[in-house]
């Protein structure tokens, strides 16, 4: 009888999903759980929509924050961009169950681009970036109150 062999990348991804499934996480409607694979330059890209909401009004900004699920030898940074504006936030301590500082980009209603990438710790070499990591990205559109918020994955690395 012949045994099937799975590629190591498939096994690694399956293991990461099992690990993440066992982690206690507070998840709201505006949390996106993601993974950055072992490649040092891995980057996830999302389109976050802040449409005009008939019930809540017109959004004037997108707020984001990021949390790294487990301790890793690097930091995770989330950056939000729209038109010629951008801002970013970095989770200062991975694995501590706290989100980074929330940052806001005031660019009105429409689509924002959010990227998540690895960042070396100060004085560390980039080879330390080669590890699988899971994260939670928080995102919220606001005007005078919380408005409708949508997300679409554009790149998953």
> Considering the entire predicted model, what is its pTM?
0.78
Domain ranges of the chain: 30-155
pLDDT score of 1 = 47
18: left (phi over 0), alpha (psi -120 to 50) or beta: alpha
Q: Which residue has the higher pLDDT, 10 or 155?
A: 155
> Using CA atoms, how far apart are residues 118 and 62, in angstroms rounded to an integer?
22
Q: List, in sequence order, every beta strand (DSSP E) within 10-156.
A: 31-36, 43-50, 61-68, 74-82, 85-90, 103-105, 110-120, 133-142, 146-147, 150-155
Sign of CA dihedral 115, 149, 102, 92: negative
Fold that domain 30-155 belongs to in CATH? Jelly Rolls (2.60.120)
Examine the pLDDT at 38 and tell me if it is beyond 60. Answer: yes
Q: What is the pLDDT of residues 68-113, one digit of tens each?
A: 999 998 999 999 999 999 999 999 998 898 999 999 999 999 999 9
């Amino acid at each position: 009888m012949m045994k099937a062999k799975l590629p190591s990348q498939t096994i690694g991804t399956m293991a990461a999903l099992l690990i993440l499934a066992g982690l206690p996480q507070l998840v709201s409607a505006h949390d996106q759980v993601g993974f950055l694979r072992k490649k040092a330059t891995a980057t996830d890209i999302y389109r976050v929509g802040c449409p005009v909401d008939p019930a809540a009004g017109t959004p004037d900004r997108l707020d984001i924050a990021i949390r790294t699920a487990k301790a890793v030898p690097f930091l995770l940074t989330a950056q939000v961009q729209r038109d010629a504006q951008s801002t970013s936030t970095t989770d200062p301590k991975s694995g501590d169950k706290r989100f980074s500082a929330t940052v806001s980009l005031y660019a009105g209603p429409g689509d924002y681009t959010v990227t998540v990438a690895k960042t070396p710790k100060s004085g560390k070499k980039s080879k330390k970036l080669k590890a699988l990591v899971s994260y939670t990205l928080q995102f919220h559109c606001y005007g005078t109150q919380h408005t409708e918020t949508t997300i679409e994955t554009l790149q998953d690395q």
